[in-house]
């Protein structure tokens, strides 16, 4: 008598998911032919694929790029994040007003333990300590760009943040689509840094807050990018009129140095992004961004070394 073959046919022996051996299935990946259960199925143009094959294919798919070489995304994620950060910091100011004096763009000054600035009324310096950018608090160059005037400061208080958020929303969506996330963020942060640096160079004994420097940098970037592409989705003249009117209205409340610094640095950063050569464009754009950051920080160092804290 012939011996019975107790082994299952290969097709039945492999009829369990390769990732979940206890799950029986008769569906196979159309690429690698491994059995996959419903939880592992990924719909494909023909049949289903397993998760490993999907990941392998995604690595080989070329990512779509913006006109200036950035990674194209369907939504302006960076713009949303910047708006959200500004709103969250503003809410933090309402709860803890001392956050303003702790993170504004003060170049050098004396404060007490409660964060109040020293007023030279003939009193003693006892109990006060030197603070500011010139004394190692470099973070103020950026953190000040996320602070805004408190609502208790009258009509201007609330319009300060509303105006900046409006322009971040209007300009940010367009520029992020053209530049990509990283290049857009580079222009924004460099513009904010440029505004803080110019304010520090001109008036290091005072403090300023607000995203206006970054906003004016975005406006300059929009102008440069639009000229490069010869396409303007916004009415440029209307935009310039609104920004100029705001500059005049806010002259008595905000720092013109921040506006001008952001405008100049934003234009320089945008030129580096828009007019970079096609060959090794990403490297050239990164070099421009790094060079601008190094230049701005070098100016801060030089000013700090020659600054008299008692002036």
- The catalytic residue positions are 212, 259
Q: Which residue has the tokens 């369907």?
A: 74
Q: How far, CA to CA in Å, does 83 sit from each of 17, 79, 87, 146?
A: 45, 6, 6, 10
Strand partners, 49: 42
Phi and psi dihedrals of 110, rounded to 5? -115, 130
With the CA atoms of 218, 224, 229 and 234 taken in that order, what torsion angle do they form, in degrees rounded to the nearest 10? 50
Which residue blocks in 180-278 are alpha helix, DSSP H?
A: 181-202, 212-229, 236-249, 256-274
Closest-CA residue to 135 (of 255, 311, 295, 300) = 300
Q: Using the 8-state DSSP alphabet, how is residue 5 labeled?
A: -
Closest-CA residue to 141 (of 306, 299, 307, 308) = 299
Closest-CA residue to 157 (of 217, 90, 215, 205) = 90
DSSP-based three-state secondary structure for 111 = strand
């Amino acid at each position: 008598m012939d011996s019975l073959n107790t082994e299952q046919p290969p097709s039945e022996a492999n009829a369990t998911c390769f990732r979940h051996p206890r799950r029986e299935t008769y569906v196979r990946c159309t690429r690698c032919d491994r059995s996959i259960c419903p939880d592992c199925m990924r719909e494909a143009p023909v049949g289903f694929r397993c998760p490993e094959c999907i990941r392998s294919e995604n690595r080989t798919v070329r990512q779509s790029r913006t006109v200036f070489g950035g990674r194209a995304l369907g939504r302006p994620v960076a713009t949303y994040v910047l708006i959200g950060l500004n709103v969250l910091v503003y809410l933090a100011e309402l709860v803890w007003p001392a956050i303003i004096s702790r993170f504004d763009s003060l170049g050098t000054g004396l404060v007490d333990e409660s964060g109040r600035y020293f007023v030279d009324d003939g009193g003693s310096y006892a109990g006060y300590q030197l603070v500011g950018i010139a004394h190692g608090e470099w973070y103020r160059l950026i953190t000040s760009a996320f602070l805004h005037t408190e609502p208790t400061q009258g009509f201007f208080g609330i319009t300060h943040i509303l105006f900046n958020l409006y322009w971040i929303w209007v300009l940010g969506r367009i520029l992020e689509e053209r530049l990509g996330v990283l290049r857009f963020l580079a222009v924004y942060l460099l513009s904010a840094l440029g505004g803080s640096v110019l304010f520090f160079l001109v008036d290091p004994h005072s403090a300023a807050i607000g995203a206006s420097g970054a906003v004016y940098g975005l406006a300059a970037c929009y102008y440069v990018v639009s000229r490069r592409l010869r396409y303007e989705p916004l009415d440029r003249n209307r935009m310039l009129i609104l920004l100029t009117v705001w500059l005049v209205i806010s002259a008595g409340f905000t720092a013109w140095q921040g506006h001008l610094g952001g405008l100049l640095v934003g234009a320089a950063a945008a030129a580096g992004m828009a007019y970079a050569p096609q060959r090794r464009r990403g490297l050239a754009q990164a070099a421009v961004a790094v060079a601008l950051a190094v230049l701005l920080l070098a100016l801060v160092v030089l000013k700090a070394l020659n600054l008299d804290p008692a002036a």
